[in-house]
Structure 1
Amino acid sequence: MLNWVSAALLVGAVVIVVRWLHARVDAVGRTRAFPWFSTVCLVALGFACLVPGLLRARLEQRLSVAAETIVGAPVEVRCQAFGGAFVDAGADLGYVAFGPDGVPERATLIKRNQCRDLSAYLRSSKESPINEQVVAVHVLTHEAMHMRGFKNEAETECLALQYDADMAQLLGASPRAAHDLAVTYWQNVYPRMPAGYRSDECGPGKVLDARLSGAPWSVLE
């Protein structure tokens, strides 16, 4: 929506300049002053409205690169814009669409708040992330699992928490900080997830244990 506002403001600046060019001289032959103030204000506001979109595109690119490493194929991570968040009443924090054949799109939408938390995590030292940042990193991993083809939420959630440390490292965390983030999610967040997202078979040595070195129950070497 801000892109449209930006376009309107820049078009307004062009209209002012064009009108001035067609009426530079008044009825008595005097040259009219160039409308610097209105033109500069409209141009400045127009470019200012472009900034959020440019920052979002930069964040999306960073997140896409990390996610596609986990997925093993090119993917697109999109962050929810302000307009989408304004009308969104859903409780999900991310979304991947599956086709009628059960094949997922290689694209995901991450909700606005979680993208904000991911942006904050990227700018941080990543040594002591707040709970919202831990969850946001996991949401990105969870949606990456969906893009790999896993549909069942309990299975997807369990596999995702075993890849959280890898995702955190892809986002710039040290191995120790990444492992700590995965452990934090496993111990503090996962037990409070809705029943549909949890499984008794999720844990060390259980059915959903993928035996990954980055699993939160693994020993960090």
Structure 2
Amino acid sequence: MLLTWVLVGFLALAAFISGRWYLRQYDGLGRRRPFPRISVVLCLLVALGCAIPVVVHVRLEHQLQAAAEQVAGVPVEVRCQTIGQTFVDATADLGYVKWGPDGEPERKTLISWEPCQDLRAWLGSDKSAPSLDQVVAVHVLTHEAMHMSGIKNESHAECAAVQRDEATAQALGADPDQARALAKRYWTEVYPRMPDGYRGGCGPEGRYDEELSTAPW
């Protein structure tokens, strides 16, 4: 993360300036040099400015990871794409799980910048009236959690996620009514418009119907 490197860089610069002063406190005539407080303070202020978004980013990832682990039932790792990573990302994926050398999905995912920002906004709201983008963002986390649990097929992962969006929303702090409304909205407004590869076998008595109480149908 670029901000992390900037943070470390300015902390190191502040330490370097302080250390150099400490080793050269006196000039050739024995006079004590003043501490370069302005330079050090400026470095620390820049570092503090970088630290705040870094802390917010890490806290968001921890919240999403805890919810994903609860839904997937296995330890997972969730990372949010940074703004810097968006410049080198040529894909349109909202979330991504790599397949390992053994052909199995890895237990870590990268959620794209936009859905992560939508998730952060939703987490900071009262969760009573999520935007459609926020509904989709919650589902993206659930969908990737299903892949991390071991499901390879996209339509299977999508249907498993549809049946667990309510659980994900509750794990992220929504009350039962809010969570069910969010899951229902994805099922009725978004799922029917998904590409063919993500649909099929989902619904009452469908191939992927797990008969969960959290299913939105």
TM interval, short-chain normalised: over 0.9
Report the TM-score when normalising by structure 1.
0.91
Aligned to 2:207: 207
Say yes or no: does 1:57 pair with 2:58. Answer: yes
Could you list the per-position Cα deviations for residues 147-177 of structure 1 after superposition, in whole angstroms to 9, with x for gaps in the alignment?
A: 1111111121111111101111111111111
Structure 1 stretches of at least 4 aligned residues deviating more than 6 Å after TM superposition: none
Q: Which residue of 2 aligns with 1:94?
A: 95
Correspondence list, 1:18-29, <5 A: 18-29=19-30
Counterpart of 2:164 in 1: which secondary structure? helix
The more displaced of 161-170 and 11-20 is: 11-20
The unaligned stretches of length 5 or more in structure 1 are none
Which residue does the alignment assign to 1:123?
124
Alpha-carbon distance in structure 1 between the residues aligned to 2:134 and 2:112: 13
Q: 1:33 to 1:100 in 2, by over 3 A?
A: closer
TM-superposed CA distance for 1:73, in Å, is 1.4
CA distance in 1, matches of 2:46, 2:122: 29
Mapped contact 2:154–2:198 kept (Cα < 8 A) = yes
Aligned to 1:168: 169
Letter in 1 for 2:100: G
Q: Does 1:103 align with 2:136?
A: no
State the Cα deviation string for residues 164-203 of structure 1 (Å, max 9, x = none).
Answer: 011111111111111110111011111221221122x222
Structure 2 distance, partners of 1:99, 1:13, is 42
1:86 CA drift (Å) = 2.1
Identity of aligned residues (%): 53
Cα displacement (A) at 1:117: 1.2
| 2:210 alignment partner AA | A
Aligned length: 216
1:216 corresponding residue in structure 2 = 216
Displacement of 1:92 in angstroms is 0.6
Q: How does 1:157-196 map to 2 (within 5 A)?
A: 157-196=158-197
RMSD: 1.6
Q: Structure 2: give runs of 5+ residues left out of the alignment.
A: none
TM-score calculated relative to the size of structure 2: 0.93
8 Å Cα contact 2:104-2:152 kept in structure 1: no
Tell me by how many angstroms 1:53 deviates: 2.1
